[in-house]
């Protein structure tokens, strides 16, 4: 059986899937047509039901519950790993007026945007763009603020940018659960037995990668050419953890709480809220 599989070229995703897609583990007669794309493209494709298995942000997953169900393995959750709201100038405490400012975001369907809405529900002037352009948008004055994700959270200070708020830290303080950033979902039309086999294979792929870590494989390096190995390792250390191997009770609780927040800010009827979230 051949299935389409989409994930991002970021080190955390290539680290997770390297052993599976490059046949370092037994794929049990399953074959994958692999597509690497930025997460907002994958989010949009999920809304269209384009791929059989896909990495996606949780808001995109919540909007495509009629098409996809979440696997236990492969998700990105954690503590201290959330997106950051940044500015060009330092903000004085109590004089921020965030709601009136233009904010670059890495896509409308991203968890970063949902966490921004959670912290600043009245912020309306959001400008979606590819995540790698957000720092430049803030530096050039195209937008007054930006929400950064991925490797940018490790490097923004090198460009004299300033943290306004750690949106993940804000979530953790209010909700007392890890930050759900992204997950791996599979089409509901795929039979349960096959879905569970794929879930097991992703878990085995991660375990294989960890056995050989901190080795950074050529596959990870090939898709992270602008990053130093140190930044690649920071990426993996923050975004691949025990929740990636298996969501467990705590991981599922965090996703359910994020879903509740998502439902509270969506128009009634927009989301298939009656569907099961987890395989």
Q: Which residues are catalytic?
A: 150
For the four alpha carbons of 140, 112, 160 and 14, in that order, the dihedral sign comes to: negative
CB atoms within 10 A of CB 245: 19
Distance CA 156, CA 138 (A): 11
Q: How far is CA 224 from CA 1, 13, 14, 149, 216, in A?
A: 30, 11, 9, 15, 11
* Nearest Cα to Cα of residue 167 among 126, 201, 116, 214: 116
**Rg (Cα) of the chain, in Å, rounded?**
18
Which residues touch 202 (CB under 8 Å, ≥6 apart)? 16, 17, 20, 71, 73, 74, 184
Long-range contacts of 95-102 (CB under 8 A, 24+ apart): 96/164, 98/123, 98/145, 98/164, 99/123, 99/124, 100/125, 101/125, 101/144, 101/145, 102/126, 102/127, 102/143, 102/144, 102/145
Backbone torsion region of residue 267, taken as left when φ is above 0, otherwise alpha when ψ lies between -120 and 50, otherwise beta: beta
For the four alpha carbons of 224, 40, 262 and 126, in that order, the dihedral sign comes to: positive
CB atoms within 10 A of CB 43: 26
């Amino acid at each position: 059986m051949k299935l389409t599989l989409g994930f991002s070229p970021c080190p955390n995703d290539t680290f997770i899937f390297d052993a599976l897609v490059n046949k370092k583990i037994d794929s049990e007669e399953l074959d994958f047509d692999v597509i690497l794309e930025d997460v907002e493209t994958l989010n949009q494709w999920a809304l269209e039901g384009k791929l059989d298995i896909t990495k996606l942000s949780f808001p995109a997953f919540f909007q495509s519950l009629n098409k996809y169900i979440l696997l236990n393995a492969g998700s990105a959750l954690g503590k201290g790993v959330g997106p950051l709201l940044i500015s060009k100038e330092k903000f004085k405490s109590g004089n921020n007026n965030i709601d009136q400012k233009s904010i670059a975001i890495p896509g409308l369907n991203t968890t970063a945007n949902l966490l921004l809405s959670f912290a600043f529900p009245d912020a309306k002037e959001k400008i979606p763009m590819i995540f790698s352009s957000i720092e430049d948008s803030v530096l050039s004055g195209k937008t007054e603020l930006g929400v950064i994700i991925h490797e940018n959270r490790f490097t923004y200070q090198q460009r004299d940018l300033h943290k306004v708020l750690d949106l993940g830290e804000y979530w953790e303080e209010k909700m007392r659960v890890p930050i759900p950033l992204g997950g791996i979902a599979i089409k509901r039309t795929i039979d349960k037995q096959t879905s569970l086999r794929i879930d097991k294979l992703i878990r085995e792929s991660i375990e294989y990668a960890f056995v050989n870590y901190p080795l950074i494989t050529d596959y990870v390096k090939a898709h992270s050419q602008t990053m130093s190995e140190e930044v690649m390792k920071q990426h993996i250390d923050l975004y691949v953890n025990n929740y990636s191997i298996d969501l467990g009770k705590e991981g599922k609780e965090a996703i359910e709480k994020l879903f509740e927040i998502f439902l509270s800010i969506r128009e009634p009827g927009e989301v298939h809220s009656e569907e099961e979230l987890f395989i």
